[in-house]
Every structure is written in structure tokens, then in C-alpha cells.
Amino acid sequence: MIRSRNLLLGGLLCLIVVAGALVSFLWTPYDITVLDIPNKLQTPSLQHPFGTDHFGRDILSMIMIGARTSLAVAIVAVGIGMGIGVPLGLWAASNKGGWIDEIIMRGNDLVFAFPSLVIAILITAVMGASALNAIIAIGIFNIPVFARLTRSGALSLWEREFILAARVAGKSKARISFEHILPNVGNLLIVQGTIQFSLGILAEAGLSYVGLGAQPPIPSWGRMLADAQTMVSFAPHLAMVPGLAIITAVLGLNLMGDGLRDLLDPRIRVVRQ
Amino acid sequence: MLRYSLKRLLSLIVSLAIASVVIFLVIEVAPGDPASFMLGINAQPDTVAALRAELGLDVSKTQRYLSWVGGMLQGDFGTSYTYRTPVTQMIADRVWVSLPLALYALTLSTLIAFPAGIYAASRRGKPGDITVMGATQLGIAVPNFWFAMLLVLVFAINLRWFSAGGFPGWDEGFFVALKALTLPAIALALPQSAILARVMRSSLLDILSEDFMRTARAKGLSRRQALWRHGLRNALVPVLTIMGLQFSFLLAGGIIIEQVFFLPGLGRLIFQAISARDLIVVESVVMLLVFSVILVNFLVDLAYAAVDPRLRSRT
Amino acid sequence: MTFQGTKLAFASALALCAGLGVAQAQQTDITVALQLEPPHLDPTSAAAGAIDQVLYSNVFEGLTRFMGDGSVVAGLAKSWDISEDNLTYTFHLQDGVTFHDGSAFTADDVKFSLDRARAEDSVNAQKALFEDIASVEVVDPLTVTVTLAQPNGSFLFNLAWGDAVIVAEESIEGIKNAPVGTGAFQFANWVQGDKVELTRNDAYWGDAPALTEVTFKFISDPTAAFAAMMAQDIDAFVSYPAPENLPQFDADPRFQVLRGSSEGETILSTNNALPPLDDVKVRKAIAHAIDRQSIIDGAMFGLGTPIGTHFAPHNPDYVDLTANSAYDPELSKQLLAEAGLPDGFTTTLKLPPPSYARRGGEIVAAQLRAVGIQTEITNLEWAQWLEQVFRGNDFGLTIISHTEPMDIGIYARPDYYFQYDNPTLQELIETLDATTDPAKRSELLQQAQTIISEDYVNGYLFQLAVPTVADARIQGLWENAPTQATDLTGVSWAE
């Protein structure tokens, strides 16, 4: 009962965020590319439900388009992590104890050993600040998460009888990995993917906050917070609204992740870092 | 065991060697030159060249890499390009802010997480559990830099209970320094404690379903008594593993929080050094952080292997 | 006995009152916050303004010096004679001056400092200031002659820069971490990442300062700056980084806000060699597309003076040319059409870290978009900006405040990053450099301002203001910033 409530509430919160992002492609209350400086820093009102920012832009419109940025960066980053991490994990598991397994797992440890935020900052220092580089920086650190998870999930499967049967039938390791192992670690990946997605949103917000994410005029929640920082003492809504937007998205995804786990397989353990 | 240890040690050394090459390459590729940065927009090209020579930047990259690594092996991280002081000294100064901050945050998060986790586990499925778990979900979702902004707004600007940031140094007295670290530690601790409380709870629940706990209950102990006497100790293993991970995260992850509270810690040192292209400082600090994580992992692996011999054959 | 006792008690009560009174009236320590920490403490080998901001006039002095109103007066040189041909300067030095380490200040130190700054292997960030010096001769311990290769109308002005302060050969080795100068304050301590402490130099040759202890604290984050000021953790913040907070300080009787002018012309620098920006019509179109007042209101919260050329409005030689580039989007579109770009064009806008650039850039981008010019914004760190924009000329537009005083001469350098090549102006600046007659110089300066304004070399936005927020009881702080300095020699607490 409680479990489905998690899924329901999480799904609802995610729906709000996704709907905001999708609607913004077609319509926003105001055009945010036009600045209206005489009307800057207005408090929430009927015209502007969340008020206006320091350039007189409508904050609701900014949040809607910002949702697009956050979701896009996080989705692509998780996609990179899965796309590279899962095959690596499968490969390692199929060569358990061999030198390929050893190299992949040590490589994972090595990536894990790097302080992620510092590396993200370095990457943007080398390649310049942009949404794309934020994606790469976040994506790299998703690779070992999925590689490890897939490997550990796959290892136990390799002992199972239906895999042994497939081996006896002469199927190659790679074919078994993709045909039999992958579908069976799917649940695991969906649950962890949801969690990584929420972490990706937090990471994007952090990077944008220090000025290393999407560049203006593309709005991003983290940069809105950074812009609001010096005005928080006289216009607190500038900081509250983007902060709550981040919380809504992350909370929604986490609840959904927990709900999905309970639905799919309660024994799954997620990793949070 | 000895063979296993040697094997792990070898892998540690290889990891460090690879890490040093990666760090050096990434940082050296970054556009921007420390000498140009220092001399600004009116500097003449020959002046910049003179400064580059003075800083030892005019030799080849390979040579610079070798002297950097060679120095590190002897515990010498070189001399900062901008500050012109030994990097070892700079790191030592900054560690005395970052390390206590990380410990403080970890202590706070433990103090919050343990009771919360135990309470939730003992009230499994009841309103108390649901409330605590709901609170932890919220705690995980809050970005720590946003929380830090709110803390400054409320406790420093409005209530004026704490100063908004800065660090007076440990010379000013233990409690004065501790007070300066309080808001940053709270900001760092909140999301960590939420994660830790969840781990604590689920780890306890696992233990509760184990046979020896059923036996304890059957002997007539109440659920809570059984939890305290037998459950807690056994549940601590996964919790401690997570705490170890969190500690290294806190050491490096305080970078944004140090920025918000302008604390002179390692994180802010990296930020400053990157923008000034003080390459050797960036390289050395990153290397140090990587080293500490790799070393902790190595020690943890050895400890596990000592406890559980089966693990030795695994890797 | 009783009587004596009463008398004693009375006397001690008096003493107590007096003591209290003294303690209250004579606060002699101050904590001044700055946004940037100096990388090291040698003003003669780095461009970092933060070094001068801490040390100029406090610890180090030059032969001449800037006053708060921008005038140049005698410093360690009490007077000087200039030869008929304007080539030889004979400086008569102050007598009885010692460095903080006790060694005497003599003509040898002057020769050492100037020769070091102009040497082959010099790492002085403003080496050009010393370019015209042919030789420096010591006549006697208190007299030194400087011979120039060609007349230089701004030589005394050049010597007032923080990069031209006098250092001693004996203490040059440790200058980066323990600077030794002749100023009213001496260096005491530096906690890196946090603060620099100075104490009063009791052997100072000039008027003794009122302050005995000075702490410079470095607070880079604007939010932290606001909170620290509000909590009165600091007594003053020079060059306060967030103009949006100033109304709150205005409203609070505990504080005073000084809104001074600086030497920073904030401009939309334009790559004059990059098509289509090499067409004066296009640059003129950009100039008319920009609404300066909205930029000042939006980016600086009203703080700043509009400019129409590259010159400080508080300078007596300034010409107001803002009308040349009045806000007129229709004219702008028309000019673009005339230049063969009726649908506008796309260019890059690269922005360094200061908020005037980041915020101003977003506003400029929106205003240019309104006339059909699309910009791709990239935010850069300083190191990247220097490499890509300043040295690499890889940009279309950028926003930057040129804070060097009297720097119109950069328009005569065709290799300078905005790559403006106009022989008429180059000739004019050459004449200017060799002219020492004030009236003639003024005329030439005004001509130069008009030429660059009419050529629309760059978009001229506003003169950067320097707000100082301070405890209401502090007196004597510089209001304006003719150079980057926090001169505390004349600062004291009221009451």
C-alpha cells in the first residue's frame, strides 16, 4: 500500500516536471528572450505567479524551459553511462576472474577515485563551459556505476541453469550476455537508472551553479540559483523557486525509483553516492 | 594473504601511475597560461616569456611531468606558480580546514542518521517510520548549496547567530573555529545523513529477518531489546562502508560549500588554482585526493580479505 | 583617613572614566574586506590589482603618488627639476626615510627599482611605463637623475603607478611573501586564503596614520560579502561586488556607501578585423542598438555613468559623445540593411567572469537580437579570456572594463586585441606622447576621443563605478579609485 503510494506520488511529481518541460516547447507564459528591465524583481502576482527575475523575465517561463535543460542533460548523461557501462559490465562478468574483468574493474575503481566535481570543473576548464561538456562530465561518472551494477547482477546469472544450457548449446559468451543476461538485469538497471537520473539533475544544478553548465540565454535551474544568490536578502523568491523545482524533480525521481524497485523486485539494492 | 596483499599493492601502484598521467595530461591541455594570467593585459610578450622562464614553464612537458612525479615521491609537491610558496605547505594549511569540516559533517550526519534509522527500523511500516523515511527522501533531494544559501540567510543575515563565513583559524580557540564551521557542516551533513539513515534502516531490517534474531525473539526478548543487543552490531558493517565512502566524498565534495562560506579549504584552493592556471597546485591537490581514496579502498580491501578469506580468490 | 580614602576613590573613578573614554574614542584597528586575494605581495611583478589594493601607499611608495582625487603629487621624491628639452628629470628625495627592515632609503634604491623594472628579464606587468627611460644616474644619496630617450608627457604620472614603487635590493628576495617598503604600515602576517595583516610603522617619515592595526580580509563571494558586512564582521568593503545590495546599506544607519568613480571604461570590445564587424556601418548599427541605461539599470542596478568614448567622465578633458550612439533600433536596422545585412548576422560574445560582463552580456545579447544580430554567448574564465580573446583575437564581441588610467593610447596599437588600425589616430597619439604642454595635450586628447567615437571602434557602455560600503563612523576612505588602492594612511574612526 505504502509502496504504491511512493510510485504514485513520485510519478505525479515527475509528471509535473516533464509536462512543464514539454509544454515549454509550444508555449510559455512570457517570451524569456525579451528582457523587461523596468519590471525586474517583481514578487509573485497574478501576472507572474512566481514573480520576475533581475532582468524582468517571468520566472515561471524560465523554470519551464529550465526543466528542459535539466532533464535533457541528465537523460543524456545517464544514457552515456548506461550505453558504455552496461556492455563493460557484461563483458567483465562473462570473463569473470580474467584479465579483461580485472582491467575493467580496476578502471572503474580508478574513475571512482577521482573527485567527480573537481574533474567536472577540470573538463569544463579544458573544453569550455557548455551543456554538452556538463553532460560529458556527468556521464563519465555514470559509467562505473552501471558497469559494477551490471557485472554483479550478471555474475549470479552466469551460475544459473538456463545459462549453462545456452552455453552447452554452443552460443557465444557475447550472445548469451545480450540475449539472456541483459534482459534479466533490466529491472536492476531501470531502478538504478532512475536514481542516477535524479543524481544527474542534482549534478547539473551544481555545475550550472558554479557557472559550468548550459550558457545563457538558455535558462538552467542551477544558474538561476547562482544569479539569485546576491539578491536572496531582498528577493527570496528568486532562490526559492528554482530550489523547489530541483527538489520536486529529484524527489519525484527518487520516490519513483523506490516505488519501481518495490514493484519489480524488492531485493534490488541501489547505490547512492 | 601475503600474495593477495602484494597483488593489490601492485594494482595500487599501477592505478596511481595511471592517475598521475591522466591528471597531468588533462590539466596541461587546458587552455590558458599562468604567466599571462599573472601579468594581465598590458604585459609585453618578452615579459611573459621572462616570467615563464622564471617559473620553469619553458621546459618540455615530459620533463615537467617527470620532475613533478619525482618530487612527489619524495613528498615534495613543487612550488606554486602564483603564490610562490611550497605546494606542500599550502595543502597542509588547507587540510586543517577541509579535514575538520569533513569530520564535523560526518559526526553530525551520524548523530542524526543513527537514531533516525534505528527509530524507523523499530517502527517499520508505522507512521513514525513513514515520517522519517519521507523526511530522508526530502533530505536527499535538497541540493546542499541551496540549503547553505538558506542557512546563511536565516542564521547569519537575519538572526546573526553565526558569521556568514570565513575561518578565523584554530589559533583563535577551538570553539571559535568550530563555530565558524558549524553552518557549512550542517549544509554538508543534511543530505549525507538522509542517505545514511536509509542505509541504517534497511541494514537493520535485513538483520531482523535473520535467524539469530528470530531465536533472540523466541527467547522472549522484545523486538527492541533484540535490536539493541544483537542487531545493531551486525548492521554496522554496511553502514560503516557507506560512511567511508561519504568521508572521501565530503573531503572533496565540500568544494561548492567552501565557496559559499568562503572557507580557505582544499576545495577553494582548487577553484582558485584552476582560474589562475596554477597548474602544479591543481595537479597536486587532485593527485592527493585520488591517492587518499585509492589508499582507503586498498586498506578496506585488505581488511575485508583478512576477515573473509574467500574474497582473496575473487579478485 | 576617611577624607583621603574618598579622595582616592574619586581620583580613581576619574581615571576610570578617562580610561573608558579613551578606549571608546580611540578605536585604531580596522578590518577592510576586498574581493580578491593577492597571489603574492610583489606589486612590481604581477598585474593583479589585488596586490596594489593591499599595499599601494600603505606599505610601498613611489617617487610620485596618486591622491584620492586622481591627482599626482610628490611621494618619496619631495621635488624634481625637468630640463628644458623635457628629457632629464632630477629627483630630490625625502630625507630620513627608512625601509621597514631599518635600512635607509637612498638614491641607490631608486636606481635599483627603476633598472629592475625596465631590465631585459623584467617581469613587470607594466613594463611599457618605463620604456622611455634611457638611463638612471645616482648623483648623491638624495638625488637621482632619470634621462629619457624621448619626451614623455606622462612620465611623472607613470611613476605614480603601483608597478613603479620603490623596493630595496636587500629585501627583494623575500618580497613575494614578506614585502618590505617605506610606507606608513608594515607587513605583519598573511594567512593565505583569508587575510593579510599590517601594523603601523612607527618610524614613518610622513604624518603618522591614525590606525595602528589593519586587517585585509578576502571575501570573493558576493553573498558572503553581504552577510559579513551586515553582521559587522568587517568594517569596510572596498569595491563592493554586488551593486544590487547597496540600497539595503543606504537604508541602514550603521553604514555609509561611497559611490566613487573608477578608471574603468566598460566597453563592448569589437573585433575590428573580423567581417562583418570590420565595416564601420555594422559597428555603428551595433552602437545604436544598445540601450546603455537599461544595461546600467539591469547589470549594475543603476550604478555607472554612460560614456560615448574611451575616456573617464570625471577627467577634465572628457568630451560627452554619447549622442553619437544614441539608442535607436530603427536606425540600427537601417544601417544593417545599408551594409548589405538586412537580415542581421551571427557573431560570438565572449564574457569574462565579472558580473558587469556576465549580466551586461545577457542584456546586450537581447538588445542585439531585437535588431536581428544573433550572438552566441560563451562565459570564460580570465585565463581562457586572455588566451582566446586577448591574445588569440578569436572573438566577435566581448565585454570588459579597461581599468588602466589614461589608456586611450591602446587605440594606436593595431595589434591590440580589437585590432583597430587608423594611421590618423596613431599619428595623433604619437604627437600626444611627445607633448608636455597641458593645453595642447588636452586638445589632442579630445580629438582622439572624437575619432574613436565616430569610428565606432567599440561599443561604449559605461564608466564602472566603485562602491565602498563602510561603517558610518569611518572617515577618510578614498571615494574614487584613480588607481587600484586602499590608501589607509588618512583613515580614522570618528568620535
**What is the per-residue pLDDT across A181-206, written as a single tens digit (0 to 9) for each?**
898 888 889 888 998 999 999 999 98
The residue with cell 559611490 is C259
Return the residue of C nearest to B97 by Cα.
C193
Does residue A65 belong to any structural domain of this protein? no
Please state, in angstroms and rounded to a whole number, the distance separating the CA atoms of residues A77 and B297.
26
B224-273 pLDDT, tens digit each: 777 777 767 677 767 777 777 777 777 766 778 888 888 888 888 888 88
C302–A contact, CB cutoff 8 A: no
Question: What sections of C103-242 are H helices per DSSP?
Answer: 107-118, 155-159, 222-230
The residue with cell 599550502 is B90
C376-409 pLDDT, tens digit each: 998 888 888 888 898 889 999 999 999 888 889 8
How far away is chain A from the Cα of C298, in angstroms, using its nearest Cα? 6
How far away is chain A from the Cα of B174, in angstroms, using its nearest Cα? 29
Residue A39, C-alpha cell as written in the block:
519590471
Phi-psi region of C457 (alpha: psi -120 to 50; beta: other; left: phi over 0): alpha
Q: Which chains touch C (3 or more CB pairs under 8 A)?
A: A, B
- Positive or negative: CA dihedral B261, B267, B272, B275: negative
Question: What sections of C290-373 are H helices per DSSP?
Answer: 292-300, 329-338, 355-370
A165–B contact, CB cutoff 8 A: no
Does residue A180 belong to any structural domain of this protein? yes
Residue C366 Cα to chain centre, angstroms: 30
Q: Which chains touch A (3 or more CB pairs under 8 A)?
A: B, C
Cβ pair A177, A94 in contact under 8 A = yes
> Above 80 in pLDDT, residue C82?
yes
* Three-state secondary structure call for residue C463: strand
Domain membership of residue A206 as a residue range = 71-241
CB atoms B270 and A121 under 8 Å: yes
Total length of chain A: 273
Specify the range with the lowest mean pLDDT, choosing from B45-54, B61-70, C7-16: C7-16
> Above 70 in pLDDT, residue C9?
no
For the segment C250-257, the average pLDDT, to the nearest whole number, is: 95
How far away is chain A from the Cα of B173, in angstroms, using its nearest Cα? 31
DSSP code of residue C374 = E
Mean pLDDT across chain B, nearest whole number?
83
Q: Which amino acid is at B47?
A: T
> Above 50 in pLDDT, residue C22?
no
* Three-state secondary structure call for residue C261: strand
pLDDT of the residue at B292: 82
Residue B110, C-alpha cell as written in the block:
551520524
Please state, in angstroms and rounded to a whole number, the distance separating the CA atoms of residues C332 and C344.
10
Q: What are the residues facing C262 on neighbouring strands?
A: C481
Residues of C in contact with A34 (CB under 8 A): 366, 370
C274–B contact, CB cutoff 8 A: no
Sorted by where each starts, the structural domains of chain B and their CATH numbers stand as: 96-313 (1.10.3720.10)
- Positive or negative: CA dihedral A78, A84, A88, A90: positive
Cβ pair C75, C64 in contact under 8 A = yes
> Above 90 in pLDDT, residue C493?
yes
Q: Residue window 187-216, chain A: list those with CB within 8 Å of chain B.
A: 198, 202, 205-206, 209-210
pLDDT of the residue at C106: 94
CB atoms C39 and B157 under 8 Å: no
Residue among B272, A36, B157 nearest C298 (CA): A36
Please state, in angstroms and rounded to a whole number, the distance separating the CA atoms of residues C369 and C366.
5
Does residue A45 belong to any structural domain of this protein? no
The residue with cell 577627467 is C315
How far away is chain A from the Cα of C191, in angstroms, using its nearest Cα? 24
Please state, in angstroms and rounded to a whole number, the distance separating the CA atoms of residues C11 and C280.
82
Please state, in angstroms and rounded to a whole number, the distance separating the CA atoms of residues C153 and C98.
31
Please state, in angstroms and rounded to a whole number, the distance separating the CA atoms of residues B271 and B265.
10
pLDDT, greater one: C19 or B52: B52
CB atoms A128 and C384 under 8 Å: yes
Does residue A82 belong to any structural domain of this protein? yes
> Above 50 in pLDDT, residue C7?
no
Cβ pair B265, C226 in contact under 8 A = no
Q: DSSP letters along C380-432, please? A: --HHHHIIIIIIT---SEEEEEE-STT-GGGGG-TTSTT----HHHHHHHHHH
Neighbours of C69 (CB within 10 A): 10
pLDDT of the residue at C115: 95
B98-112 pLDDT, tens digit each: 889 989 999 999 999
pLDDT of the residue at B85: 84
B45–C contact, CB cutoff 8 A: no
Residue C454, C-alpha cell as written in the block:
565616430
B264–C contact, CB cutoff 8 A: yes
> Above 90 in pLDDT, residue C253?
yes
CB atoms C245 and A125 under 8 Å: no
CB atoms B43 and C127 under 8 Å: yes
Give, for C77, the enclosing helix (H) or strand (E). strand C77-82
For the segment B10-36, the average pLDDT, to the nearest whole number, is: 85
For residue A81, report the phi and psi dihedrals to the nearest 5 degrees. -60, -45
- Positive or negative: CA dihedral B90, B92, B95, B97: negative
* Three-state secondary structure call for residue B256: helix
Neighbours of A111 (CB within 10 A): 18
Radius of gyration of chain A (CA): 22
Specify the range with the lowest mean pLDDT, choosing from B207-216, C248-257, C313-322: B207-216
> Above 90 in pLDDT, residue B124?
no
Does residue A100 belong to any structural domain of this protein? yes
Return the residue of A nearest to B8 by Cα.
A106
Residue C86, C-alpha cell as written in the block:
623635457
Return the residue of B nearest to C190 by Cα.
B83
Mean pLDDT across chain C, nearest whole number?
89
Does residue A31 belong to any structural domain of this protein? no
**Confidence category of residue B314, pLDDT binned at 50, 70, 90:** very low
C337–B contact, CB cutoff 8 A: no
pLDDT of the residue at A120: 80
How far away is chain B from the Cα of A141, in angstroms, using its nearest Cα? 13
**Confidence category of residue C21, pLDDT binned at 50, 70, 90:** very low
For the segment C302-317, the average pLDDT, to the nearest whole number, is: 92
pLDDT of the residue at A3: 55
Q: Is the peptide bond before C329 cis (omega within 30 degrees of 0)?
A: no
What pTM value is reported for the model?
A: 0.84
Return the residue of B nearest to C123 by Cα.
B47
Please state, in angstroms and rounded to a whole number, the distance separating the CA atoms of residues C356 and C359.
6
pLDDT, greater one: C337 or B272: C337
Cβ pair A157, A184 in contact under 8 A = yes
B253–A contact, CB cutoff 8 A: yes
A110–C contact, CB cutoff 8 A: no
How far away is chain C from the Cα of B285, in angstroms, using its nearest Cα? 15
Cβ pair C269, C399 in contact under 8 A = yes
For residue B47, report the phi and psi dihedrals to the nearest 5 degrees. -65, -45
Please state, in angstroms and rounded to a whole number, the distance separating the CA atoms of residues C120 and C112.
14
Does residue A101 belong to any structural domain of this protein? yes
Residue among C402, C448, C438 nearest C71 (CA): C438
pLDDT of the residue at C383: 80
Please state, in angstroms and rounded to a whole number, the distance separating the CA atoms of residues A255 and A189.
16
* Three-state secondary structure call for residue C195: strand
**Confidence category of residue C34, pLDDT binned at 50, 70, 90:** very high
Q: Which chains touch B (3 or more CB pairs under 8 A)?
A: A, C
Q: Residue A76: which CATH number?
A: 1.10.3720.10
B255–C contact, CB cutoff 8 A: no
> Above 80 in pLDDT, residue C161?
yes
How far away is chain B from the Cα of A172, in angstroms, using its nearest Cα? 24
pLDDT of the residue at B315: 39
**Confidence category of residue B311, pLDDT binned at 50, 70, 90:** low
Give, for C118, the enclosing helix (H) or strand (E). helix C107-118
* Three-state secondary structure call for residue C461: strand
Half-sphere exposure of A69 (CA within 13 A, CB side): 31
Contacts of residue A172, Cβ cutoff 8 Å, sequence gap at least 6: none
> Above 50 in pLDDT, residue C15?
no
Neighbours of B38 (CB within 10 A): 25
Predicted ipTM? 0.87
For residue C95, report the phi and psi dihedrals to the nearest 5 degrees. -90, 150
C14–B contact, CB cutoff 8 A: no
Please state, in angstroms and rounded to a whole number, the distance separating the CA atoms of residues C20 and C457.
62
Does residue A136 belong to any structural domain of this protein? yes
Please state, in angstroms and rounded to a whole number, the distance separating the CA atoms of residues C22 and A149.
72
Sorted by where each starts, the structural domains of chain C and their CATH numbers stand as: 29-34+178-261+466-493 (3.40.190.10), 62-170 (3.90.76.10), 263-464 (3.10.105.10)
A69-108 pLDDT, tens digit each: 999 999 999 999 999 999 999 999 998 888 899 889 888 8
DSSP code of residue C56 = B
Please state, in angstroms and rounded to a whole number, the distance separating the CA atoms of residues B25 and C229.
42
Count chain B–chain C contacts defined by CB atoms under 8 A.
142
**Percent of chain C beyond pLDDT 70?**
95
Please state, in angstroms and rounded to a whole number, the distance separating the CA atoms of residues C460 and C175.
39
For the segment A39-61, the average pLDDT, to the nearest whole number, is: 90
pLDDT of the residue at C370: 93
| Closest Cβ–Cβ partner in A97, A113, A255 for B290 | A113
pLDDT of the residue at A114: 82
Q: How many structural domains is chain A composed of?
A: 1
How far away is chain C from the Cα of A123, in angstroms, using its nearest Cα? 13
C362–A contact, CB cutoff 8 A: yes
C298–A contact, CB cutoff 8 A: yes
CB atoms C362 and A35 under 8 Å: yes
